[in-house]
């Protein structure tokens, strides 16, 4: 045993030498030979081992602890050499453990404890390298190939890391982005300098911005062109191309040598260009619509052989400027393409029975490039004996129909100033539509009703107000009172509100077909109480699929809204289903091929089907707006209406007539109101572009409609 004084002395001695602890013998250690001095040596941290020496002689190898023995009362050199951390990567490269030593002596039989703490001495620092091409998951994965100080390192997959032990100081780091998809990034090589500090970790991310994608499409469908980007040919004679470009930078996209295989020499397209940029990893769809340059105009000729019998072999033979164009069978239309200008036309009867009819008809016909001229060739029978001569044939029967709530198909037009009633009658229009604004407390005026009746038209009044006036269900009864007064004043039809599936027409957050049906019910009750013959038309929703983009507090898709009205019992409170169709850019006879998308509101036929079937066929359809937009005669359309940029006045006239013909023959449409007749506003909302009376006063659609209706 040692005295407490001796113990404290030894402890103080250990404190003088860092890492060296001296204690008296401890009972749980093996005793020391009384003739020897013992040294119990320990290495720390716990996970290191070393070789132990006393006075230069290796005593224990590869251990964490050891008992060394020497002569008592004699200084001994105690050492730990070759200190290791088993299983740890980086020893003697990234770091090392310095040898430890101390000179110590103790008394006979005593045990002197020696504790060596061998910290890591860092020789290098670590570089943690990340391969980080942006948005790589959206494409085939590339890889990074780093080169450090000119030495190529193994490839690293996108999103993976590698760790390098480097000497302290700056290092030149070069990275190549490799792989089949690498060209889809804005650049594929980068040079950087990283500075490493011994014992520290430096993080480095090799980032590469992804190119943006331009999806270039040429309209209309079927047209081909050479596609250039920034002056370089990308693809020849194609309708579309997708390519990757540097993000943010503005690109010039051109369509040159535009070809339409269906043109057949009747028109051509001009070159067109547009600038567009895309964002990193984004897709920008760019539509280019070249301007159609007409080289010919159309002559649509109807062959009318009076009193032709089924057994007669006779038809119209058409000649222009001495050249035969073709044959037109009795009672049919044929279209001939002619160069612009005046043409000497001749229509004669051909066939074995041709001698029964007079003729030929000779006339001069002016053709306008891109225009459509309709001509009916009427040829009368040669009388069997003179006089009298055979009477001219009657015109095709006009469209007829009944009164307010029943009857056959009828045609009308929406007007701003009601400035051309004669042209409307020429087109066969029976109805005129006007809009009326209601404010709570207003007294209904009958001036518009009287004006329409005085000029020989039935009148449809579309009655709407401000969304705030009906917020929370307020003033429903006052609105009903107002439309009831209009019915009492002789209104032939009333459309109850307008586009109530949009927050610009109905209070935001309250768009609900059940709430609208409540307003419709009250209005219907008042209208019918005052005038049972007034036709009640439900307000036409806006044809839209934007609910997903803006949310149901601001907009409902019109098909869902109509189903909601049907579920709320709206059919009991209307005579006709209000419909708007004014976004068409193709013929109403088509059911596919709209270049924008296949959404059902693009097509006349699917609009009729969706609205008619929403109520199980219990009510017919009333188109309170049907029109086709064209900027011809005004200039370029505003950006939001660019979808109609290729529509011509000739197409407008043709398509409106086709829609009227389909409506009349289909049996599902009660009323078609052309939108519009005489609007002149041209701005952000180019309503004048829908007008069938064009700048200068011409009305091609009036003529095409007359060919369908027979006029008035």
Question: 3-class SS at 705?
Answer: helix
φ, ψ of residue 399 in degrees (nearest 5): -65, 135
Structure tokens belonging to residue 252:
């010039």
Domain check: are 195 and 218 in the same one? no
- The model's pTM: 0.48
- DSSP run (H or E) holding 121: strand 121-122
393 pLDDT above the threshold of 70: no
Domain check: are 139 and 180 in the same one? yes
Range of the domain at 469: 410-709
Query: 376 or 399: which carries more pLDDT confidence?
Result: 376
Separation between Cα atoms, residue 428 and residue 422, nearest integer Å: 10
Separation between Cα atoms, residue 604 and residue 665, nearest integer Å: 14
Separation between Cα atoms, residue 331 and residue 314, nearest integer Å: 11
CA distances, 258 to each of 241, 276, 366, 667 (Å): 15, 20, 29, 42
Structure tokens belonging to residue 198:
């011994």
Q: Is residue 677 within 8 Å of 701, Cβ to Cβ? A: no
User: What's the rounded mean pLDDT across residues 231-242?
Assistant: 94
Domain check: are 491 and 552 in the same one? yes
Domain check: are 617 and 577 in the same one? yes
**CATH code for the domain in which residue 16 is found:** 2.60.40
**CATH code for the domain in which residue 465 is found:** 3.20.20.80
Structural domain contains residue 365 = yes
Structure tokens belonging to residue 693:
């009376």
Q: Three-state secondary structure along 146-183?
A: EEECCEECCCEECCCEEEEEECCEEEEEEEEEECCCHH
Q: Where are the alpha helices (DSSP H) in 588-699?
A: 604-614, 649-666
Q: What percent of the chain has pLDDT over 90?
A: 74
Q: Considering only CA atoms, which of 381, 380, 376, 369 is closest in space to residue 396?
A: 376
92 pLDDT above the threshold of 50: yes
Q: Angle between the 513-530 and 558-567 helix axes, to the nearest 10 degrees? A: 60
CA distances, 251 to each of 42, 247, 258, 287, 654 (Å): 73, 10, 20, 14, 38
User: What is the CA angle 122-123-129, rounded to 5?
Assistant: 90
Average pLDDT, the chain: 89
User: What's the rounded mean pLDDT across residues 3-7?
Assistant: 32
Q: What is the pLDDT of residue 383?
A: 62
pLDDT band, very low/low/confident/very high, at 403 (cuts 50, 70, 90): very low
Of 208, 240, 275, the position where a domain reaches its end is 208
485 pLDDT above the threshold of 80: yes
The conformational region for residue 290 under phi > 0 = left, psi -120 to 50 = alpha, else beta, is beta
Q: Considering only CA atoms, which of 183, 188, 186, 115 is closest in space to residue 145?
A: 188
387 pLDDT above the threshold of 60: no
User: What's the rounded mean pLDDT across residues 231-236?
Assistant: 95
Structural domain contains residue 404 = no
Q: What is the pLDDT of residue 21?
A: 41
**Peptide bond connecting 239 to the previous residue in cis, omega within 30 degrees of 0:** no
7 pLDDT above the threshold of 60: no
Domain check: are 240 and 269 in the same one? yes
Separation between Cα atoms, residue 313 and residue 309, nearest integer Å: 9
DSSP conformation letters of 324-372: EEEEEETT-EEEEEE-SEEEEEEEEEESTTGGGB---EEEEEEE-TT-E
pLDDT band, very low/low/confident/very high, at 279 (cuts 50, 70, 90): confident
Domain check: are 699 and 579 in the same one? yes
**Peptide bond connecting 388 to the previous residue in cis, omega within 30 degrees of 0:** yes
User: What's the rounded mean pLDDT across residues 511-536?
Assistant: 97
pLDDT tens profile 8-47: 333 333 333 434 444 434 345 789 999 999 999 999 998 9
pLDDT tens profile 657-686: 999 999 999 999 999 999 999 999 998 889
- Biggest CA–CA distance in the chain, Å, is 166
Q: In terms of C-beta density within 10 A (0-12 exposed, 13-18 middle, 19 or more buried), how is residue 710 classed?
A: middle
Domain check: are 372 and 328 in the same one? yes
Domain check: are 273 and 301 in the same one? no
CA distances, 35 to each of 28, 30, 436, 620 (Å): 20, 15, 124, 123
pLDDT tens profile 611-632: 999 999 999 999 999 999 999 9
Domain check: are 335 and 231 in the same one? no
CA distances, 658 to each of 325, 330, 339, 479, 630 (Å): 25, 20, 25, 37, 17
pLDDT tens profile 506-516: 999 999 999 99
Structural domain contains residue 18 = yes
Separation between Cα atoms, residue 131 and residue 230, nearest integer Å: 31
Q: Considering only CA atoms, which of 96, 86, 206 is closest in space to residue 144?
A: 206
Separation between Cα atoms, residue 411 and residue 460, nearest integer Å: 11
Separation between Cα atoms, residue 397 and residue 409, nearest integer Å: 13
Q: Three-state secondary structure along 432-478?
A: EEEEEECCCCCCCCCHHHHHHHHCCCEEEEEEECCHHHHHHHCCHHH
Of 241, 260, 294, the position where a domain reaches its end is 294
Integer-rounded Cα Rg, in Å, for the chain is: 46
Domain check: are 260 and 195 in the same one? no
Domain check: are 272 and 326 in the same one? no
291 pLDDT above the threshold of 70: yes
Could you give the strand order of the β-sheet that contains 100-104, starting from the edge strand earlier in sequence? 57-63, 49-54, 76-84, 100-104
Q: Is residue 181 within 8 Å of 244, Cβ to Cβ? A: no
| Number of domain units in the chain | 5
**CATH code for the domain in which residue 257 is found:** 2.60.40.2610
**CATH code for the domain in which residue 140 is found:** 2.60.40.10
Structure tokens belonging to residue 638:
């505003």
Structure tokens belonging to residue 595:
């270049």
395 pLDDT above the threshold of 60: no
406 pLDDT above the threshold of 70: no
User: What's the rounded mean pLDDT across residues 212-219?
Assistant: 90
Structural domain contains residue 199 = yes
User: What's the rounded mean pLDDT across residues 692-700?
Assistant: 95
If you count them, how many residues does the chain have?
712
Structural domain contains residue 387 = no
Residues 6+ apart with CB under 8 A from 151: none
Q: What is the pLDDT of residue 137?
A: 63
Structural domain contains residue 612 = yes
Q: What is the pLDDT of residue 500?
A: 97
pLDDT tens profile 295-346: 999 999 999 898 889 999 999 999 999 999 999 999 999 999 999 999 999 9
User: What's the rounded mean pLDDT across residues 467-474?
Assistant: 95
> How big, in percent rounded to 5, are the helix, strand and coil portions of the chain?
20, 35, 45
Of 63, 90, 120, the position where a domain reaches its end is 120
Q: What is the pLDDT of residue 69?
A: 96
Q: What percent of the chain has pLDDT over 70?
A: 92
pLDDT tens profile 246-272: 888 899 999 999 999 999 889 999 999
Domain check: are 364 and 234 in the same one? no
Structural domain contains residue 51 = yes
Q: Is residue 465 within 8 Å of 438, Cβ to Cβ? A: yes
pLDDT tens profile 100-139: 999 999 999 999 999 999 999 999 999 999 999 987 765 5
User: What's the rounded mean pLDDT across residues 511-539?
Assistant: 97
Structural domain contains residue 246 = yes
């Amino acid at each position: 045993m040692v005295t407490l004084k001796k113990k404290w002395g030894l402890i103080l001695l250990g404190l003088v030498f860092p890492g060296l602890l001296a204690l008296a013998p401890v009972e749980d250690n093996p005793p020391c030979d009384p003739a020897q001095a013992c040294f119990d040596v320990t290495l720390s941290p716990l996970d290191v081992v070393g070789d132990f020496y006393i006075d230069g002689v290796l005593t224990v190898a590869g251990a964490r602890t050891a008992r060394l023995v020497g002569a008592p009362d004699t200084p001994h050199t105690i050492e730990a050499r070759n200190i290791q951390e088993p299983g740890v990567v980086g020893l003697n490269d990234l770091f090392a453990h310095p040898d430890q030593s101390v000179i110590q002596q103790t008394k006979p039989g005593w045990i002197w404890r020696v504790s060596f703490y061998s910290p890591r001495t860092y020789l290098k620092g670590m570089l943690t390298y990340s391969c980080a091409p942006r948005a790589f998951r959206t494409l085939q994965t590339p890889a990074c190939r780093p080169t450090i100080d000119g030495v190529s390192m193994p490839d690293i997959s996108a999103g993976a890391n590698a760790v390098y032990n480097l000497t302290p100081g700056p290092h030149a780091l070069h990275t190549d982005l490799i792989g089949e998809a690498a060209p889809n990034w804005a650049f594929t090589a980068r040079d950087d300098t990283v500075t490493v500090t011994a014992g520290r970790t430096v993080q480095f991310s090799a980032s590469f911005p992804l190119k943006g994608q331009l999806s270039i499409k040429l309209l209309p469908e079927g047209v081909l062109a050479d596609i250039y980007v920034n002056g370089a040919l990308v693809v020849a004679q194609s309708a579309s191309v997708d390519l990757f470009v540097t993000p943010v930078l503005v690109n010039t996209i051109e369509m040159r040598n535009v070809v339409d295989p269906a043109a057949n020499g009747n028109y051509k397209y001009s070159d067109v260009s547009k600038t567009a940029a895309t964002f990193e990893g984004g897709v920008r769809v760019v539509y280019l619509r070249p301007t159609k340059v007409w080289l010919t105009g159309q002559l649509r000729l109807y062959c009318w052989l009076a009193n032709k019998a089924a057994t007669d072999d006779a038809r119209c033979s058409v000649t222009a400027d001495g050249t035969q164009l073709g044959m037109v069978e009795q009672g049919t239309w044929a279209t001939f393409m002619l160069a612009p200008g005046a043409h000497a036309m001749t229509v004669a009867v051909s066939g074995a029975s041709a001698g029964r009819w007079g003729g030929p008809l000779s006339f001069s016909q002016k053709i306008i490039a891109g225009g459509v001229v309709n001509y009916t060739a009427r040829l009368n029978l040669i009388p069997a004996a003179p006089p009298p001569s055979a009477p001219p044939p009657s015109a095709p029967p006009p469209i007829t129909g009944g009164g307010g709530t029943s009857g056959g198909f009828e045609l009308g037009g929406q007007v701003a100033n009601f400035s051309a009633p004669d042209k409307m009658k020429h087109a066969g229009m029976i109805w005129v539509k006007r809009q009326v604004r209601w404010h709570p407390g207003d007294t209904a005026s009958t001036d518009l009703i009287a004006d329409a009746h005085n000029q020989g038209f039935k009148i449809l009044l579309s009655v709407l107000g401000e969304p705030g006036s009906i917020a929370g269900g307020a003033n429903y009864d006052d609105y009903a009172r107002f439309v009831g007064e209009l019915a009492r004043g002789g209104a032939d039809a009333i459309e109850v509100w307008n586009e109530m599936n949009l927050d610009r027409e109905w209070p935001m957050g309250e768009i609900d077909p059940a709430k609208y049906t409540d307003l419709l019910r009250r209005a219907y009750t008042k209208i019918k109480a005052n005038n049972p013959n007034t036709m009640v038309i439900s307000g036409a929703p806006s044809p839209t699929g934007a609910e997903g983009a803006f949310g149901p507090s601001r907009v409902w898709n019109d098909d869902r809204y109509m189903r909601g009205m049907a579920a709320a019992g709206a059919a009991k409170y209307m005579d006709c289903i209000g419909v708007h169709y004014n976004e068409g850019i193709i013929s109403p006879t088509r059911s596919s091929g709209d270049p924008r998308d296949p959404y059902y509101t693009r097509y006349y036929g699917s609009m009729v089907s969706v609205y008619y079937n929403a109520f199980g066929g219990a009510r017919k359809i009333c188109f309170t707006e049907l029109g086709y937009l064209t900027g011809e005669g005004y200039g370029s359309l505003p950006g939001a209406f660019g979808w109609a940029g290729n529509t011509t006045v000739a197409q407008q006239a043709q398509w409106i007539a086709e829609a009227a013909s389909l409506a009349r023959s289909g049996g599902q449409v009660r009323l078609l109101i052309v939108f519009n007749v005489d609007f002149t506003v041209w701005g952000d909302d180019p309503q004048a572009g829908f007008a069938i009376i064009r700048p200068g006063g011409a009305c091609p659609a009036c003529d095409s409609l007359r060919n369908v209706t027979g006029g008035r």
